[in-house]
Chains A and B, each alone.
Chain A
Amino acid sequence: MSELLWKSAKELSEALSNKEVSAVELAQAMLARADEVDPKIHAFLKRTDEIALEQAKAADERRARGETSSAFDGVPVAYKDIFCTKGVTTTMGSKILETFVPPYSATVVERCEAAGLTMLGKLNLDEFAMGSSTEWSAYGPTKNPWDLERVPGGSSGGPPALIMSGGVPWGWGTDTGGSVRQPAALCGCVGVKPTYGLVSRYGIIAFASSLDQAGPFARTVEDAAILLMLAAGHDPMDATSIPQEVPNYLDGIDAGIQGMKIGIVKEFTDTEGLQPGVKQRVDEAYTRLERLGAELVEISLPSFQYAISAYYLVAPAEASSNLARYDGVRYALRSDEGTDIVKMTSRTRDEGFGPEVKRRIMLGTYALSAGYYDAYYGKAQKTRSLIIKELDAAYEKVDLIVSPSSPDTAFKFGAKTADPLSMYLSDIFTVPVNMAGNAGISIPCGLSPDDNLPVGLQIIAKSLDEKTMFRAAHAFEQDLGFASDPGMRPQI
């Protein structure tokens, strides 16, 4: 069975279709792999073995009847523990939601279930998706399968760690400032931040509503595109969801990038803290793109320099409001120390939230305060408009933009927790995409010569142009051969 563990979802779909394997066997194999690797990497916050096997059984029964819910009926999946799953604890990596069992599932989960995917479990994240390492998870960090002394990135650290341990072919994360792309880069897999509004946010616990977007992880670009297609598309339950048909991203994915114009951001070339090994691999990636027929164009996006500062006003501001509902009145944690409503609420929040969450609530509350609103939140929103304007102008000249996904490879535990700013800078290349609302993908572009750890290349498309983005990413992936090379897997 172990040869199944590293197959892509697309290959598993074929194996299921050819009756080479059953959905139950697949689920069993993946769960057995979890038994093996999870004690080392701690990707799971909750395993849902029973549900997985039950769903797999149902998938097999459908197939036996000659029916399938989709071509991927019976393929396993796992979710960052930010997606509400009906009847299954959803903790958001926080003590405050330790006992929260949602009576509903996120639209993403519902759609994947409708496609017949079997749920293996709920995966680790930084508390409330705030962080770049999973070190802020209230339930302990996830470890990078490439080096167990290093972080997998974050906030969606669980899914890529499990995927790159052969525990599941694909999974769902969310990306508010880089929380899919950065851990994908650090774990050596593919991670997508789709256009804001492409995937419904219903049932995804909010961090920063105007930036949050669900995104798929996978080992191949095609798998990522497929998983995205299974859940994308308009949802009447989300007022920010885009009422538009989702194209088939696989159509023409093999067409190559001959003649494409690809922008390189001038302001990113001398980014402080950019590791030499990362710079080397990314520069090589640019050359590879050129060799594949793309024309590289230098573009200037001055506002990108302010993206991080603006982001750390907008995101905490929205978070301070989104997290106000955790007051102990209606669900989950309630401190029994309070003797009145004010004490009960403040004790509950004090006990339930960790340090990074508290820091961001305070930052955000301050940014929205009377007298400071214009200087902070107001200005941040203006910066955001400027980023969008500059990007629009850039896309007049280029089809795609490329950059590193992260300034460094997987760092050691504790390296950045004492200095929040250094942690925040992990997202320097990814944050502008969330601020503008367009699409981005991180794909592996080799191992860094410095430390033999994966490096990610980010490809940024304009809003709703995921198709072009996948086409270029697929062309690069096929040429590099990283994903298909068994030598390019962590030894775990």
Chain B
Amino acid sequence: MSTTASEMYETTVGLEIHVELSTNSKMFCACPVDFGGDPNTRVCPVCLGMPGSLPVPNQMAIEYTMKIAAALHCDIARFHEFHRKNYFYPDMPKNYQISQYDHPIGTKGYVEVTGDFGTKRVGINRVHLEEDTGKSTHVGGSGRIADSDHSLVDFNRAGTPLVEIVSEPDITSAEEARAFVTELRAILESLDVSDVRMEEGSMRVDANISTRLTGAPEYGAKVEVKNMNSIRSVGRALEFEEKRQRKALDDGETLVQETRHFDEKTGTTSSLRTKEFAFDYRYFPEPDMVPFEPDQAWIERVRGSLPELPASKRARFAEIYGLSDKEIQTLTTTSATAGWFEEAVAAYGGEAKKISNWILADLYGLLNESGQELSDGKIAPAQLAALVKLVDDGAISGKQAKEVITVMFETGDDPAKVVEERGLKQVSDTGAIEVFVDEVIAENPDAVEKIREGKDGTLGFLVGQVMKKSRGQANPAMVNDLLRSKIN
């Protein structure tokens, strides 16, 4: 009996996800939370850490965090307390971060994830609330701090409410990690508490990955992987890292605890720093705030106000729309997409599957090219429903509809208008088609003869000739029927 490499080792992954909340104002001051803008324009004495300024906690951020905790099936703490995490960093205004330490808002939750690996629960260790830092830009050299001429700091982001979600080390492959992040992102998106855009940094994923011999009592050396800017990157980085670690162990190397940087271009990771010493953050309770106990009614209200979460939505889609798992997965990626789909189905009134086909086969292609979300596009759900109805009614052909949808995608016009303007109306008028059919029969006596002899394949040629004469506007099914009846 031989042991394959994949059975010999086991991979352990734990994820730390930071999510910027989309509250109106920052965590401890009244500055607006927004993306972009000129550097240092959304700042005040509090988020700049000016002497004498004091933090006042944002109740909305606390509620959002409780919402997240509830959606992740966490226990919600009855005692909230902020701590200071002390370390020096130039883009951290106070040189400590107000965070939560031994009293996180949520603990002991889970996320259920599904994939080719089956269905599994990934535990959530904690959900806590803290403040984000500013951003440094290093000018000169390679753009890294070490060889730069000088650095610039923008504090617009400083003080944005940030939720940290820490998973248990329950993830055993890159695929599971990807599925976990996808599901978590969908959950957060459905809660409408964050933009969850990994590319813009409103959702940031760090992974801890280790490899050990299957069944070994201790975990392998923990490697932290950073700079994964998309869900795809999470998968690629962890796949690479899993292979690298296994190969290293195969080669008899000892893995060390370190932080590695993922390079998007090469798809590889490289060492940033080894952990020679652990940082001592000197956590202590934040004396500028008083601990507080949210009342049970508030917690109950938050739990009761949760929207339909992705898992329930998927179950419902399977039950009432009869779609495949793959279709459901795509249509429920975001609640906006799912909402769009449901609106289109409702406007259409027919088989949901047809709407799904149009979205997945046609609209997604167009959206991918333009990098838009379904709900960002110019086409309204009712317009897609109207287009499908035109095809159903035989007003236009399926082929024409594909042309129409391309125009709709660009202009946002109603399908009827596009059909009208482009003269795409399918000719279903028997009289008009009959003229073309008669002409074609008269012009192609040889072909007609062949069909009479039973060579059906030639019928297609004649249909094509009719379509040509009608400049593609004839209803092909009617042409077919007419040709047959006239020849035979």
Residues of A whose CB lies within 8 Å of any CB of B are 83-84, 90, 92, 97, 100, 102-104, 106, 201-206, 208-210, 236-240, 317-318, 320-321, 324-325, 327, 329-331, 341, 345, 365, 368-370, 373, 377
Contact = CB atoms under 8 A, between A and B. Distances in A.
Given A237-B56, A324-B94, A325-B94, 10 more contacts: A83-B52, A102-B50, A201-B52, A208-B287, A238-B54, A324-B88, A327-B90, A345-B88, A368-B283, A377-B284
Contact of B84 (A83, A90, A321): A321
A92 B51 contact: yes
B175 to A, nearest CB: 37
Contacts of B283: 368
Interface string B279-298: 01011100111100000000
10 contacts: A103-B45, A103-B50, A203-B52, A206-B52, A239-B289, A324-B86, A325-B49, A330-B49, A341-B90, A345-B90
Contacts of A204: 52
Contacts of A370: 280, 282
Contacts of B95: 324-325, 327
A209 B287 contact: yes
A210 B151 CA distance: 35
Contact of A239 (B55, B93, B282): B55
Nearest to A341: B90
B284 A373 contact: yes
Given A318-B287, A321-B86, A368-B86, A202 B52 contact: yes
B153 interface: yes
The SS class assigned to the A binding surface is loop
B145 interface: yes
Nearest to A332: B51
A97 B51 contact: yes
Given A239-B289, A325-B93, A317 B284 contact: yes
The SS class assigned to the B binding surface is loop
B87 to A, nearest CB: 9
B428 to A, nearest CB: 71
A209 B285 CA distance: 11
Given A92-B51, A206-B51, A210-B287, A327 B56 contact: no
B240 interface: no
B358 interface: no
Contacts of B56: 236-239
B93 A330 contact: yes
A84 B52 contact: yes
Interface in B320-373: none
Nearest to A381: B285
A239 B145 contact: no
Contacts of A365: 282
A341 B151 contact: yes
A239 B90 CA distance: 26
B308 to A, nearest CB: 36
B52 A205 contact: yes
B284 A239 contact: no
B307 interface: no
B108 to A, nearest CB: 25
B48 interface: yes
A202 B287 CA distance: 13
Interface string B48-80: 111111111100000000000000000000000
Nearest to A370: B280
Best-surrounded residue of B50, B51, B55, B86 (most CB of chain A within 10 A): B51
Contact of B282 (A208, A325, A368): A368
Nearest to A209: B287
Contacts of A327: 88, 90, 95
B247 to A, nearest CB: 36
